[in-house]
Chain A
C-alpha cells in the first residue's frame, strides 16, 4: 500500500511477541523447532489479525541450516551439497509473475557470481497455501530456496578470500573462512537487492531475500502463529534440526498484506519500536562517504545504501547490525553500540565500560526506543533489552540444558523440577548463549571482555575536547543596550514572551506552565509574521511506544554529545573521539568566545554568516540566494578542514536580515548530507531567534549540534537590569536557570517520543510541518511530513522582512519597544483568538437567557472566518446538494446523544462543575467523562429528582487514580487516555496542597500528598499491551465499551488501526488545541495537530484497512458550533466532544489560571471560597448543546442529509473555501484531507458491527461455575485448576460479578480461594475484589494485581523447584499498578516497577527490579531481598521496608522525595514482623523463615523508606486526631499548612 490521502507508510508501527530457544550444548534437534512453535502459539495474543480475522500480521522462525534435511532434499533435485558451512542457502520470496521472477533470480545469480560464489540450484519450497487468510493469500509470493557454494579451492587464487588465512580442512562455524563466506553472501545479496530495485523498480518489490547464509535460514510470512508451521511443511519434518531458533509474532498497525515485513530478519527479531529511525537513517547516509573497510575494499559500494529504503525500523536495525558484524565487529559488540545501556553517574559500572560507551557515542548514536531484541548468528544466540527495559523479556534454563527466552514466562511448559533458573532480562542487559562453548555467558563477562579489547579510556582522555578549561579564560560578551530593542524586534521578540516565557525560565529554571487550550490560529493562518518554528508540530509517542518520565526516570537520559569530524564507522581509532564533547547543546555567549578563539591544527572553528540581503528585488529570491551563499560558505569551510562551523546571524543590520535559524540549519544539514560532508564537521547555530524550548528542540531535531541563543541571554540580562527578576539573583545564576529550563524542556520533548539521548534525537526530525509548501520541505526539511502544503520561501522571506522592517524603521513615538504579542493572552493588538470577549460573552448570554438569536450571533462569530482565519475548518466550505426539509432531519434530541464532555477530572475542576457536567449530559442522553481522578461512589445512586451524577464514561489514565473494580463496573464506557491534546506524551502532577480530603478519598490517597501521573501507562509500552489493557477492562466489566483516546498527529491513523485491531470499540481523536488544567506552554502550543487532519487520516486509514466497520470514531478539541460537528462528521466522526465550551457555558471566561487553582468562577479550583462562586447550571450546558444540534440540523437540511449517520465520512461534500485571499493560507491544499479511499467493494465507512467478543474462552467463566456457592451464598470454598500463560486477566470477571452483587466491600475475607498451578498469563488478579484469594503455584507474567481492589494474591514457588526461590524471577514487570487495597505475597523476585502507583496494597516480595515503588502514594511494601536502581522514584506516599543486606539502598534509591531510616520504632518493628510472618504463612517462604529465625539481628538490616510529604501528612493527621476536633477535617490543616 502506498501513501495516499493523509496516509503515509512511514508511520506504520509494529510490535509483537518474540522468543528464542537454544540447546546450550549446541546439540541439534527437531524439538527446538517444536519449542519455537509452542512459543509462537502461546504468544498468539500478542500478535494481531487483519480485517478478515484470519490473516496474521506476520510470523517467522530463524534457525540453523538443517543440513541433513537439505542434503536429502537436494539429492532428490540432483544437487550435491558439500559439508555444512560449505554452502549457503537463500530463502527467496519472489513475484508471482514467472518472467519477472526469473529476471530477479538472474540478478541474484549474477551477483553471486560477481563475488565468486556459485549457485548450485533452486528448490521450490513446498507450501500449503490453503491455510492462509484471504489477504495474505492475495499477496502470496513464490518461495524458492537457492543453494550456493563458494568457488573450489583452486579458484581461490583468482578471487582470494580477503582476510582469510587458509584454515586447512577445518570447516567450522566460526572460522575466518565461513566469516568470509558470510560476508560474500551478504555483499551478493545487497548487490542483487540494489540491482533489482534499480533495474526493475516497483514492479519487483515482491522480490525479497529473507535470508542468505551458510549458517542460518529464515522461514516467515503473513501468518498467524499456527499458520507458519501449517504453511511450511519443511518445518514439521523431523529431519529439520537445529540447536537454536528465534521466533517472532507480529502485531502491526495495518492490515495491508506485506510478506517482507514479517520477522525475524537476518540476525534479529525485535519487539518494540525504534523511534529515532529517521535520524539514524540520515546519520547512516552521512557516514557512507567515510565508510571504508579492508574486508570490503571497493566492493563497499554494493553495501550502499546501508539501510534499505522503505524498510521498517526493525529491518533497518537489522541492516545496520549486519553491516557492523560483517565488517568485523562481534555480534555483542555491535549490539552494545546500537543499544547502549545507560552509563550516567547513577549507575554502578566500571570506568572501562563507561569509557567504551562514551567512546562509541562519538561514533554512533543509539538506536533509541523500546527494544527487546533476540539475535543470533547461528552460533551465538541471545537477547538484549534497551536501557529503559520497557519490553518484557523472560528466560528460563532447564536442567536438560535448554534455554528459552520469550516475551512471557510460561510460553513453554516444563515441570517445576526441571527448571534450573528463571530470570528476566534487565534494562540494558544481555543474555547470551554460545553454542560452540556450550555455556551461558553472563552480561558482565561479555561486556568486560569487549570494553577492554581496545584502550578506549586512554583514547578518550587523550583526544576528547571539552569546552571548559582547555581554552582561554572566559571573556564577558557585552550586550549593546542601545540596539537591543531593535535586535529583539528583528527576531520577533514580544513583551508577552519576555514575561511569560523567559522570566519564569530565568527565575525558576523551569519551563512555564499554562492552562486551557490553544485557540490562536495556526501559523499559516495568522496575519502576523510568525517565526518559522511555529510551522512545526512536535511528534510524540502514543500507544506504539511509551513516553519516558524525564523527571523520575531521568537517569536513563542524556544530553551529552560529541561534535566535530566523525570517523569511519567500520573502524576504531583514537582519532575517532577527537571531537568536542558537549554536556548539553546550549552554548553561552562566553562559550562562543572560547570556541572562536580555538587555535589548533586538528580542530578548527569557522563562522559563516546566516544572513540575506534586504534590498534584493524579491524576498523569496533574496532568501534563496542567502541560503545558497550560506551553504557554499559552509561547504568551503568544511573542505578547508573546519571541524566546527558556526552559522551566525549576529551581524544582522539595516541591510542584512537573518535567515530563519531553523531554515539555515536544516538547509545546511541536508545540503551537507547530500554532498557527503555532514559528518566532516559539527554545526553550531548562533542565533538571536531561538528562545523557547520548542525552538531548541527543532534546531537539534534538524541537525544542530550546539546552539547559542545570544539574544535570549541578552534579554535576560536586560530583564535583570529592569528589575523584572529577583534582585538578589546573579546574572550567572539567571543564565544557568535559563539553560536548566531549556535542558529540562529538551529532555521532556525527547521523552515524549520515548527517546533517551540527545545523540539519537539530533537530526531525527521528529516533527511534522503544518502550512509549509512541499518544495520548501523537500528541499530543506527532507523527510518531514507536510500534508496540506502552505507557504513557500517567498512568504517565509516576507515574514522575516516584516520583522526586520519593524526593527529598522522609525517607530511611532510613545509606542513600546516591543509589541505585546497576544499569543497566550488575548490583546486587542495581538494575535487573534477564537475565544475572545465577543464569543465568550455571546455564548454566555445565549445559554443564560436561552436566546437562539444570541447563540446564532455567537456561532456566526466563530464560524465566519472568511476574513480572519483561525482553524483549518474555517477554510472549508460545503458543496451543496438537494436540500431536505428541516423537519425531515433527525431531531436535536437524537443528535445530542452523540455528544460527550471532555475528560476533566474532579481535581482539575471542582465538584460542583464536575457534577453539573454529569447531570447535564445524563439528562440529554449524552455522556460525561470522569477524567482521571476517580469518582465518588455515592454518585452511582440516582438523585431524588431523577438526575444522575454518574459519569457514563470512566477514564483510565496513566496514574489509575480511583480505578477499582467498582468504578469499572459502574461505567457504560471505559476510556483509556493515551494522550491529551494539550500535552500529549506528558504526565502531570497534582501538588500536595491541592489534594484535599475529598480529592484524596476519590483517588485513594492521603490528603496533602502530591499525586503524580506518569507520562506513560506503565502497562502500555506497545500496541499489544494496549490490546491487553482493553482485554483487562472488558473482563472487568463484560459488555462495557472501551474507547481509546489519541491525539492527532501525523501517523495517528495507523495507530487507530492498531487500536481497532486491539478490540477497542471506539477511538477518540483529540485535536492539539484541547484544554488542560495545567501543561507546559510549549506543549499547549506545539505538540500535536488539528483534529481535522487527525480525524481525516484516521477515517482514511481505517477504511483502507477494512477496519472502519467495527470501531466508532469520536473527535474533540475546541468544538464550538454546529458547523464544527458537521465538518467532523463529514470527515468521519460519529461522536463529538466538548470541553472548554462546556465550561464557558458555566461561566468560565478563560482567565487561564486553572493551574493555579484560583478560578474566579469556581470551576477549576478546590478552594471552598471560590467554589461558592460557581454559578453554572446543567441547563446552561443543555441549552448550548441543543443550540449546537439545531445549528447542525439546519446545515444538514441544506446539505440534504437526514441523519448524522448518513454524513459520516462524506468528505466529498467538503471543499476548500474558494474566495480565499489570505496571503499565507492561499497556498494550502486540502485535497489529501478530503481524499476518500476506494470503497468499491462495498466496505463500510462507519461503524456497523460490534467488535468480536474475545472473552468467550476466559478462565473466569469456569471459576464462576465452580464457585457459585461462594458468590451466591458466601459459602467459604476452595477450588483448584491449572493455568497457562494464555489465561489472561484471571479474576476480573469474577470480581465484577462480586461487586455487582455486594458493592465495593465484596465478599467477606476468606470466602473464596482459587488455587492455580502453572504459569499465569498477564494481568493475573487484576481488579481482584475483596473476599477472593488467588493462590498461584508456579509463576506469573506482567501486570499481576493491576488495580487490585481488595483481593489477595499469593504466588508460590512450587515445592519441588530446585532453585532458591528468592533469587528467581517468579513474576513479571509492573505489578500492583494502581492497586487500591488488598494483599500480595510473592515467594520470589518480581521484575521492574513493582508496586508502581500503588495506593493501598500491602505486599511482601523477595526481590525486585528497577523503579520499585515508583509513584507510589499509599500502601506498604516489604522487599526481602535485592532491589534495582531508582527505588522510590516519585514515591509520595506509603511505606516500604527493604532488607538491605548489602547496605547499598541509599545508592539505589531515588532520594528526591523520600527519606531512609532504620526500623527502630516498635510500631514499625511489629508491623514488619507481622507482615513477614503472614508471608511465611501464605507462601511457606524459606526467605521469611530465615529472616524471622534471626529476627533481632535481621530487623536491624531493614531500611524503612518513607516519603517526606507523607510523613508530614501523617503527623498532621495524627495531631488533628489527638486534638479530637471532629469538626475540623484533617485536610484543612494540610491545605493551609
Chain B
C-alpha cells in the first residue's frame, strides 16, 4: 500500500500537456510527465484494496496495479517495472494511449478522484528503458516449433513476443513496410511517438522474433504455404474493414476513411512512401469529422496540426452527461463526456446529428454536408432514433473524415483462403483462441471486432498461451 490515508492527504494531479499554442505546430508527444516526487505522492494515494477493482474489473491485461503503486511509492522502480511487464508487453503504449478503464474502476473513483494509474505506468516503463532494466528475455530452451503471426499490431506483437519467450520460432508477417499496425499507422505521433515503438521492437528482435514486412499473406504468400512451413499460425490482422456511410454524395472526393487519413500523416512524419494512399492535407480546409470516438478525436488533432481552417466533429449519439450516469455505475466504464487534448486544441463538437447527404464542387470534391438533429428514445430497453423535423442544417465541409469505426476483419484473402468460420458480426470464431481450423489461432480485433489496444495486447498474450499449450502437446515437459 502507499500511505494509509494518502488519498486524504494528496489530491490527484493530472498529467500536464505542452501549451496548445506550442504543440499544434508539431507532431511531437504532448504529455509533460510529473516529477518523481509528485509521482510518489500519486502512488501514495493507492489504497491497496482487498479487491482491487482497477486490476480485477478495470484493466484488461490485469496489471497488478496495487503492487506497482506500492513499489513506486517505496522507490523500488525496478521491481515495479518487473511487475508491470509480467502482465503487459507494451506498457509504454498503454501508458500513453490507454483510456484507462482501471482509473474509472479505481475504488477511489466512487467518491473521489481515482489514482493516476496510467501515468504511473508510463513513468515505470520509461524509467525502465532509461535505466536499462528492460532487456531481451530470450527463451532458455527452444521447442523447435515454428509459428507465424499474421499482422503486427498490438495483438500480433504481444502474441509474437510471448510465443518467442516460450521457446518457439516466430515469424511475423506484416503487409506494410514497417512493423506496428495500428500502433504505427493509426495513432498520431503526438500521442505515441514512433521511436517508442522501435525501442520495443528491438527487444522483440533480440528475443528471436523475425519480421517479414511488405508481405501480405493471402496475396504474397498463400495459406497453403503457411501450412507447410509452420506448425501453427496466429491471425492478428485487426478489424480493418471500416464502417461506411451510405448517403447521397458519398462518392465525392475529399471524403476519406479516418484510418487512411491518419496513416498518411503518420507516414509523412516518418518520411515513408505513401503508396496508394491519397495524400490529402487539411490545410486551410474546413474539416468535418464524422464520429465522436477516439479515432475522430485523433483526426481532429491531426487536422489541427495540418492547419485546418475550422474543424467540426459530429456524433450521431446524444451528448453524454458530464458526470457518471446511473446506467453505467462504478466500476463500469462510464458513458460520459470526455474532452481530449485534441478537442482542447480547437474544434466544434455537435451531438445527435445525423448526416443526410454530401454536396460537392464541380471538381468532384465535397464542399458541404447536410445533416439534421435526431432524438433518441428508449423503447423497451433499446434506443430508437428519430429525426427531428425542422432541424436540417448544412455545414461547409472541404474535407470529411469518416471515423465511424470498423465492422470486422477483412474477409477477402487469407480468412477466406483458410476457410475460417465467422460469427454473425463477421469476426473470426475462436474457441480459446483456436479457430475452426485447429492449426489456426486468432486474437485481437480479428476475433472481437475493433477494440482497445490494451484488449488486443491481452488477447495476443492469451492466444499465445493457448497456442503454446497446443504446441506442447506431446513435447517433453520443460
The interface of chain A, by Cβ under 8 A from chain B, is: 495, 516, 722-723, 805, 809-810, 812-816, 820, 824-829, 833, 835-838, 840-841, 844-845, 848-849, 1147, 1149-1153, 1156, 1158, 1160-1161, 1167, 1169-1170, 1173, 1175
Please, which residues of chain B bring their CB within 8 A of the CB of A844?
329
Question: Which of the residues A805, A824, A1169 comes within 8 Å of B50, measured between beta carbons?
Answer: A824
Question: Which of the residues B66, B86, B137 comes within 8 Å of A825, measured between beta carbons?
Answer: B66
In order of increasing CB-CB distance, the 8 nearest A-B pairs are: A1152-B50, A813-B137, A837-B57, A828-B62, A837-B56, A809-B478, A810-B478, A1150-B50
Q: Is the CB of B86 within 8 A of A1147?
A: no
Residue among A815, A828, A1150, A1152 with the most chain B CB within 10 A?
A828
Q: Is the CB of A1156 within 8 A of B139?
A: no
Residues of B64-90 contacting chain A, CB below 8 A: 64, 66-67, 74, 76, 79, 82-83, 85-86
Q: Other CB < 8 Å A-B pairs besides A812-B166, A827-B55, A1175-B111, 12 of them?
A: A495-B67, A723-B76, A816-B82, A816-B83, A826-B52, A827-B52, A828-B56, A836-B51, A841-B331, A845-B329, A1149-B53, A1167-B5
B332 at interface (Cβ–Cβ under 8 A)?
yes
Q: Is the CB of B329 within 8 A of A829?
A: no
CA distance A1091 to B110 in the complex (A): 33
B412 at interface (Cβ–Cβ under 8 A)?
no
Task: Give, as a whole number of angstroms, the nearest-CB distance from A836 to chain B.
Answer: 6
Task: Give, as a whole number of angstroms, the nearest-CB distance from B393 to chain A.
Answer: 38
Please, which residues of chain A bring their CB within 8 A of the CB of B57?
837-838, 841
Task: Give, as a whole number of angstroms, the nearest-CB distance from A503 to chain B.
Answer: 11
CA distance A1475 to B210 in the complex (A): 93
Question: Which of the residues B47, B82, B478 comes within 8 Å of A1153, measured between beta carbons?
Answer: B47
Q: Is the CB of B111 within 8 A of A1150?
A: no
Task: Give, as a whole number of angstroms, the nearest-CB distance from A1156 to chain B.
Answer: 5
Overall SS of chain B's interface = loop
Task: Give, as a whole number of angstroms, the nearest-CB distance from A1482 to chain B.
Answer: 51
Please, which residues of chain A bring their CB within 8 A of the CB of B1?
1153
B336 at interface (Cβ–Cβ under 8 A)?
no
Contacts A814-B86, A827-B64, A1169-B8 given; does A1150 touch B51 at CB 8 Å: yes
Q: Is the CB of A1160 within 8 A of B107?
A: yes
Please, which residues of chain B bring their CB within 8 A of the CB of A1152?
49-50
B274 at interface (Cβ–Cβ under 8 A)?
no
Question: Which of the residues B55, B139, B330, B477 comes within 8 Å of A828, measured between beta carbons?
Answer: B55
Contacts A816-B83, A1160-B7 given; does A837 touch B53 at CB 8 Å: yes
Please, which residues of chain A bring their CB within 8 A of the CB of B207?
813
CA distance A838 to B331 in the complex (A): 9
Task: Give, as a whole number of angstroms, the nearest-CB distance from B468 to chain A.
Answer: 9
Q: Is the CB of A826 within 8 A of B329?
A: no
Closest to B86 in A: A816
Contacts A814-B137, A820-B67, A828-B56 given; does A1161 touch B111 at CB 8 Å: yes
Q: Is the CB of A837 within 8 A of B51?
A: yes
CA distance A1161 to B74 in the complex (A): 26
Q: Is the CB of A826 within 8 A of B139?
A: no
Please, which residues of chain A bring their CB within 8 A of the CB of B8?
1169-1170
Question: Which of the residues A1150, A1156, A1160 comes within 8 Å of B108, measured between beta carbons?
Answer: A1160
Please, which residues of chain A bring their CB within 8 A of the CB of B48?
825, 1151, 1153
Please, which residues of chain B bring their CB within 8 A of the CB of A828?
55-56, 62
CA distance A1152 to B83 in the complex (A): 22
Contacts A809-B477, A813-B137 given; does A825 touch B47 at CB 8 Å: no
Task: Give, as a whole number of angstroms, the nearest-CB distance from A108 to chain B.
Answer: 65
B165 at interface (Cβ–Cβ under 8 A)?
yes
Task: Give, as a whole number of angstroms, the nearest-CB distance from A818 to chain B.
Answer: 11
Q: Is the CB of A813 within 8 A of B165?
A: yes
Please, which residues of chain A bring their CB within 8 A of the CB of B7?
1160
CA distance A1160 to B49 in the complex (A): 10
The interface of chain B, by Cβ under 8 A from chain A, is: 1, 4-5, 7-8, 47-53, 55-57, 62, 64, 66-67, 74, 76, 79, 82-83, 85-86, 105, 107-108, 110-112, 137-141, 162, 165-167, 207, 326, 329-332, 477-478
Residue among A814, A815, A824 with the most chain B CB within 10 A?
A814
Contacts A1151-B50, A1152-B49 given; does A837 touch B331 at CB 8 Å: yes
Task: Give, as a whole number of angstroms, the nearest-CB distance from A617 to chain B.
Answer: 16
CA distance A813 to B141 in the complex (A): 11
Task: Give, as a whole number of angstroms, the nearest-CB distance from A809 to chain B.
Answer: 4
CA distance A584 to B5 in the complex (A): 39
CA distance A848 to B330 in the complex (A): 11
Please, which residues of chain B bring their CB within 8 A of the CB of A827?
52, 55-56, 62, 64
Task: Give, as a whole number of angstroms, the nearest-CB distance from B431 to chain A.
Answer: 17
Q: Is the CB of B51 within 8 A of A833?
A: yes
Q: Is the CB of B50 within 8 A of A516?
A: yes
Please, which residues of chain B bring their CB within 8 A of the CB of A810?
139-141, 167, 478
Please, which residues of chain A bring their CB within 8 A of the CB of B64?
820, 827
Question: Which of the residues B74, B107, B167 comes within 8 Å of A1151, measured between beta carbons?
Answer: B107
Task: Give, as a whole number of angstroms, the nearest-CB distance from B77 to chain A.
Answer: 12
Closest to B166 in A: A812
Q: Is the CB of B55 within 8 A of A840?
A: no
Closest to A809 in B: B478
Task: Give, as a whole number of angstroms, the nearest-CB distance from B247 to chain A.
Answer: 38
Closest to B54 in A: A837
CA distance A1150 to B50 in the complex (A): 5
CA distance A1064 to B389 in the complex (A): 75
Closest to B79 in A: A722
Question: Which of the residues B5, B52, B108 comes within 8 Å of A1158, measured between beta carbons?
Answer: B5
Q: Is the CB of B478 within 8 A of A814?
A: no
Task: Give, as a whole number of angstroms, the nearest-CB distance from B92 to chain A.
Answer: 15
CA distance A845 to B110 in the complex (A): 13
Contacts A820-B64, A1158-B5, A1160-B107 given; does A812 touch B49 at CB 8 Å: no
CA distance A1170 to B7 in the complex (A): 11
CA distance A1135 to B35 in the complex (A): 57
Q: Is the CB of B85 within 8 A of A814?
A: yes
Please, which residues of chain A bring their CB within 8 A of the CB of B162?
812
Task: Give, as a whole number of angstroms, the nearest-CB distance from A1152 to chain B.
Answer: 3
Q: Is the CB of A805 within 8 A of B82?
A: no
CA distance A1161 to B53 in the complex (A): 15
Please, which residues of chain B bring their CB within 8 A of the CB of A825?
48-52, 66
CA distance A688 to B324 in the complex (A): 51
Please, which residues of chain B bring their CB within 8 A of the CB of A1173?
111-112
Please, which residues of chain B bring their CB within 8 A of the CB of A814?
82, 85-86, 137, 165
Task: Give, as a whole number of angstroms, the nearest-CB distance from B62 to chain A.
Answer: 4
* 16 A-B pairs in the complex with CB atoms less than 8 angstroms apart: A723-B76, A824-B50, A825-B66, A827-B52, A837-B57, A845-B329, A849-B326, A1149-B49, A1149-B53, A1149-B107, A1153-B48, A1156-B4, A1158-B4, A1158-B47, A1160-B7, A1160-B108
Residue among B52, B56, B108, B110 with the most chain A CB within 10 A?
B56
CA distance A835 to B51 in the complex (A): 8
Please, which residues of chain B bring their CB within 8 A of the CB of A826?
50-52, 56
Closest to B138 in A: A813
Q: Is the CB of A1151 within 8 A of B5?
A: no
Q: Is the CB of B62 within 8 A of A829?
A: yes
Please, which residues of chain A bring their CB within 8 A of the CB of B331?
837, 841
Q: Is the CB of A1160 within 8 A of B47?
A: yes
Q: Is the CB of B83 within 8 A of A813?
A: no
Residue among A813, A1153, A1160 with the most chain B CB within 10 A?
A813
Contacts A810-B140, A1169-B8 given; does A1150 touch B49 at CB 8 Å: yes
Task: Give, as a whole number of angstroms, the nearest-CB distance from B335 to chain A.
Answer: 15
Task: Give, as a whole number of angstroms, the nearest-CB distance from A371 to chain B.
Answer: 43
CA distance A131 to B332 in the complex (A): 74
Please, which residues of chain A bring their CB within 8 A of the CB of B5?
1158, 1167
Task: Give, as a whole number of angstroms, the nearest-CB distance from B50 to chain A.
Answer: 3
Question: Which of the residues B52, B55, B56, B165 comes within 8 Å of A812, measured between beta carbons?
Answer: B165
CA distance A824 to B66 in the complex (A): 13
Please, which residues of chain A bring their CB within 8 A of the CB of B167?
810
Task: Give, as a whole number of angstroms, the nearest-CB distance from B105 to chain A.
Answer: 8
CA distance A1289 to B62 in the complex (A): 61
